[in-house]
Amino acid sequence: MFQDFRNMPLEAKYLIFASFLPSLAFGTFYVDLSYFLTTIQGLSDVFMGSIIMIMGISMVATSIPLGILADRYGRRKFLILGNVLASLTIAVFALTIDASILILGAIIEGISESAFTASFSALMSEKAGDLKRTSAFSLLAFVNNIGFSLGAFIIPFVYLLEGFGLDSREAHVLLFAILALLSFSATFIFIKVKEKRNFKPMDNKPWVPRKSLNILLKYTLTGAILAFGAGLFVPLMTRWFYLKYSITDAYSGPILGISNLLMGFTNLAVPALARKMGVVNAIVVTQSASTIFMFSIPFSPTYIVASILYIVRTLLMNMANPLQQSLIMGLVAEDERGAASGISSSLWRLPNSISATFGAMLLGEGYLDEPFYAATVLYIVSILLFWILFRRIRLPEEMVRM
């Protein structure tokens, strides 16, 4: 299994391991956001859901132009810009409860996410090369999931801070501020990555990725359906655990962290799984199995059972993530990868963030099971459509190995 990760290009390793610190910071930020804004900051469920939606809309509105600009003027620049803005966003959310500032922070977070994701996938694909691309995205998923899980695990650190005389809100604020600094420090590693091309404006280059448009439409359609289902419950799980079982983020955060920790290790097996089954088959099998466990969560008699089901669901669903990243980067034209990444990311993020608002409204009204039922239907539709559209498609490296 580990032979897939040997001889990884050096700059691909820089990108992978530099991503650990932002993953750690956003492991806390994303997992705890729904709980932090409501229970700690005293804001409503509807406003909390609206903030998540604004992040998504901002990300969608800027992903495509920023991805295209990254293709034209240099992906590393936009990667660094995205990381800096993301770090500032964490600090903004920690230091204010002013609605206007939080909305502005949500907009900036969306911009930072689009700049980072559109540039990162394209730059990673360039640095890893065709033969190591799936392995690189799998190792990236491993590192990111370990960082994300540790971010969730350190949420109980607020109790230690409270031991020094801080109240619950002050402890949460200080934790967020520390994480913002850690995320920003990754910038100094990203600077070490060089781009092999001298990017210059190309006036005759179309702004729409025409060569890759057909494959992008198919890919984003299936992803958007799945994303809408995921948004109904995934970003709201700390809130859901509190409403369903009356447990705080100090308990639910580590539970969600366990899922990401284990997920990191399962991602190491992804290249071998792809070799054995094929990338498309592996995506369909893991997502289908995950959906079964997701549907079972509302029937859990205790939070422990619900936690186990959620962990298994997350492991299976997210094993498909590096496979999907490798798939789309392998199928689109090399000079359109930034734009393709921006388009696929934005058209996943928009329905995901919109449905989070509906999910938050359902939770606020006491409908705690319905988000999972609706998500199950959407997942099934997405997986079936993906299989129909992609079942005959093979990546270039798969064709070589046949």
pLDDT at residue 401, rounded to an integer? 47
Residue 198 lies in a domain: no
Q: How far apart are CA 141 and CA 127, in angstroms?
A: 16
At 117 the pLDDT is 79
Using a cut of 0.75, tell me whether the model's pTM lies above it.
no
Residue 200 lies in a domain: no
Instruction: List, for residues 297-321, the tens digit of each pLDDT value.
Output: 999 999 899 999 998 998 888 778 7
**Is 37 within the bounds of a domain?**
yes
d(CA 267, CA 143): 9
Residue 177 lies in a domain: yes
- Between CA 328 and CA 330, with CA 329 as vertex, the angle to 5 degrees is 90
- Judged against a pLDDT cut of 80, whether residue 335 lies above it is answered with no
Domain assignment of residue 171, given as a range: 2-193+207-401
CA distances from 84 to 116, 174, 184, 269 (A): 10, 19, 6, 32
Average pLDDT over residues 10-24: 87
* Count of the separate structural domains present in the chain: 1
Dihedral (Cα; 130, 132, 136, 139), 10-degree rounding? 150
Position with higher pLDDT, 258 vs 228: 228
Asked whether residue 17 is assigned to any structural domain, the reply reads: yes
**Does some domain include residue 24?**
yes
Average pLDDT, the chain: 82
Q: Is 199 inside any structural domain?
A: no
202: in domain: no
Looking up residue 352, the CATH number of its domain turns out to be 1.20.1250.20
